[in-house]
Structure 1
Amino acid sequence: MFPQLQDNQLLKQQDEQTPIPWTYKFDWETKQFRQGPDGRYLRTTSYAEYLEEAAKKILNTRRFRYAIYSERYGVDFLYEVGRMRSGISLATIKTQAQEALEAHSEIERAEVMDIRFEGNGIIFSLEIEGVRGTTRTEVDAWQR
C-alpha cells in the first residue's frame, strides 16, 4: 500500500520538502542591508550564498554586543581592534573563528584554510560544510 523508498530517495524527498534557509544580504561598506530596485531587502537565493552571508555576519559581530543574539553568536577577537599586530596571535583568532562558525545551527564543520592581515583587516579563507552542502569563501573581517 505504501511506497517503498530507498534511503537516498527518502533523503531527497525530505530535502525537497524542507525549504532552504535564507538571510538578508548586507553591504559591508555602507553597513546597511542591501535593497533591490523595488526597495525590498534582498535575501540569499542559494544555500552556498546563505552559508557565505552567515559566515560574514558571524565573523564581523562581536560576542555579547547585541542582545538579540545568543552568547554563542559572534567572535571575541574583535575586542582586540586597535592593538598592534605584534600582540595578536593569528592562531588564536583562527581557533575562535572556527568555534564561532561551528556554533551556528546550519554549520557542521568550518575550517580556516588561510588567515592573513591585509590592509586594515583580517582575511579568512574558509571551507564551510553545512547541513545541506559545502562552500568555499573569503571573508574580510575586522575593518579598522
Structure 2
Amino acid sequence: MFPQLNGQEAGLIQSPDSPIPWTYRFDWQTRQWKQGPDGRYVRTATYAEYLAETAKKILNTRRFRYAIYSERYGVDFLSEIGRVKTGLSLAVIRTQAEEALEAHSEIERAQVVDMKIENNRITFYLELLGSRGSTKTEVDAWQR
C-alpha cells in the first residue's frame, strides 16, 4: 500500500560542503534591485548577508499581497503601522514578525531584541539563527 523508499538517509541530509544559499540584494531607498558595475544584479555573498536580506524582504512584504509567495510569506501588521498606538499592540507585532521569519526554511529561530516606532516606520533589531549560521541585523519596515 505504501511505497518503499530505497536509499540512504545520509543522501538526504545537506552536507556542509554544499554552496550557501543566496538572494538578490535590494536597495530599500530607491526600491530597485542593486546592480553591479557590469549591469548584473548583485547577489548576497555570505550566509549572514543572506539571512539579513531575507529578513528585510519578509518584514517588508504584506502577506497575501503577491501571488508568487505562499501564505506563510510576509507579515500582516504593515497595514496597521499608521494606527499602531490604538489598533495593534507591540507584543502582537513582535510575535507576528518572529513567526513570519521562522516560517522561512533557512531560519530556525528569530528573536526581536528591540523595536523602535517613528511615524509610519518600525525598526526591528533582530537576532537570527539559520541552519548554517547566525547574525544580528536591523530591519526597517514601513507602510507603503
2:8 alignment partner in structure 1: none
- How far does the alpha carbon of each residue in 1:7-49 deviate from its partner, in whole angstroms, 9 at most, with x for none? xxxx9x9211x11000000011111100011110000000000
The aligned runs of 1:1-144 (5 Å cut-off) are 14-16=15-17, 18-83=18-83, 85-143=85-143
- How far does the alpha carbon of each residue in 1:74-109 deviate from its partner, in whole angstroms, 9 at most, with x for none? 000012143253333111000000000000000000
Tell me the secondary structure at the aligned position of residue 127 of structure 1.
strand
Q: Which runs of 5+ in 1 are unaligned?
A: 1-10
Tell me the secondary structure at the aligned position of residue 83 of structure 1.
helix
Q: Which runs of 5+ in 2 are unaligned?
A: 1-12
Normalised TM-score (structure 2): 0.86
Q: Distance in 1 between matches of 2:84 and 2:109?
A: 31
Normalised TM-score (structure 1): 0.86
Q: CA RMSD in A?
A: 1.7
Q: Which amino acid aligns with 1:46?
A: T
